[in-house]
Copies of this chain bind each other. A is one copy, B any other.
Amino acid sequence: MDIARRVGVSQGTVSLVISGGAASDQVAEKTRRAVLQAAAELGYTVNAAARRLKGGRTRMLGLYTFEPVFPVDQRDFYFPFLLGVEEATARYGYDLLLFSSATDGGTRRIYAGGVNRLKVADGCVLLGRHLHRDDLAALVHEDFPFVFIGRREVPDAELSYVAADYVGATRDMVRTLADRGHRHLAYLKLSGDQEPTRDREAGFRQGLGDVGIPEESSMVHTVDDSGVITGDLLRGWLSTGVTALLVEPSEDDSTIVAVERAAAEAAVRIPEDCSVVLLGDPPLGERARDWTRFSLPREQMGREAVRLLLDLLDNDDGEPRQLNLACTPILGVSIAEPPAGLTS
């Protein structure tokens, strides 16, 4: 360190002056000024890499997404999360590392080439639907600190997450429908048995219980991978007495599109002939209907994820942090009272 040589003190002293807030009062005012001046003259700057090497912490938080964040078609879905994460990260004085490189032949993997790239950061926020369970399990196993946005489960481990309260939000929607007189509901769920699907179904059943509808008079239909719902299928449901649909939105909004198409095909009017509730956020398309739905507090979820992560870093008991945030119900125009004669 040439600055030390120039002033004629040791490198340690220079370090005390430059960075030491606490211990720098034990250096003489005169030396301090000399050092600072020399630093200014030489255009000296602290090397962050060295400081981090010494300190252990990198003051970087990672953001890893199982899907690419930036393709435009999903932009508006993922963007609020990113927004919240970024804001909180900045507020706490950290930098945000976007793991965009982690592709392994097209699909994104945490362990590219056998190494866990996330470890360059102090901790990591995870995000995305198409996750690799084994990657996640491995991550838990080597107890790397991370928080998932969205409730996720892995066998034999509790992990930290910030999730939308799908259970409560769905339950409330069932009540809303019941309040309007609906007694026969159909829940259209996605295939795949992911946590969000399970939570919505749990909320559906809770809601039925709360309002005293026997499970037999309602139904659960799984939308298969083709995503097709025919008009005949819809007519079939209505003929069994169903008056309202609760639809789980898929990533590409195919389910809700399929419902609209089926309704058109079967000449079923929404909401006059059939009420429809969207269990989540609506499609991003412009001419979207004003669905009755609930909306995730996505930005807040991002912020809270960071908060939990830092909490995890600072006091590392082995305890997972778990947080469910309420969704905002939005009363759109896609529900009404059941058609006359079908209220019971």
A residues engaging B (CB < 8 A)? 18-19, 36, 39-40, 43-53, 58-60, 68-70, 72, 82-83, 86-87, 89-90, 92-103, 111, 113-120, 138, 141-142, 144
Contact = CB atoms under 8 A, between A and B. Distances in A.
Nearest to A138: B43
Given A46-B115, A98-B98, 12 more contacts: A45-B116, A45-B119, A48-B119, A52-B120, A59-B101, A90-B103, A92-B101, A93-B101, A95-B98, A95-B99, A95-B117, A96-B98
Contacts of A141: 43
A52 to B, nearest CB: 4
7 closest pairs, A vs B, by CB? A90-B100, A43-B142, A45-B119, A49-B52, A45-B116, A46-B115, A96-B98
B96 A97 contact: yes
Contacts of A101: 59, 89-90, 92-95
B90 A48 contact: no
A253 to B, nearest CB: 21
Given A97-B95, A114-B39, A58 B49 contact: yes
B86 A70 contact: yes
A86 B99 CA distance: 10
7 contacts: A39-B115, A45-B119, A49-B50, A70-B87, A86-B100, A90-B100, A95-B98
A61 to B, nearest CB: 10
Contacts of A18: 114
Given A96-B97, A120-B49, A114 B40 contact: yes
Contact of A115 (B45, B83, B103): B45
A46 B114 contact: yes
Contact of A48 (B46, B50, B117, B138): B117
A111 B18 CA distance: 13
Contacts of A116: 43, 45-48
Q: Which of A59, A86, A120 has the most CB of B within 10 A?
A: A120
Nearest to A60: B97
A34 to B, nearest CB: 14
A44 B117 CA distance: 9
A287 to B, nearest CB: 16
B36 A114 contact: yes
Nearest to A143: B43
Nearest to A116: B45
A139 B69 CA distance: 30
A258 to B, nearest CB: 30
A44 B101 CA distance: 19
Contacts of A58: 48-49, 120
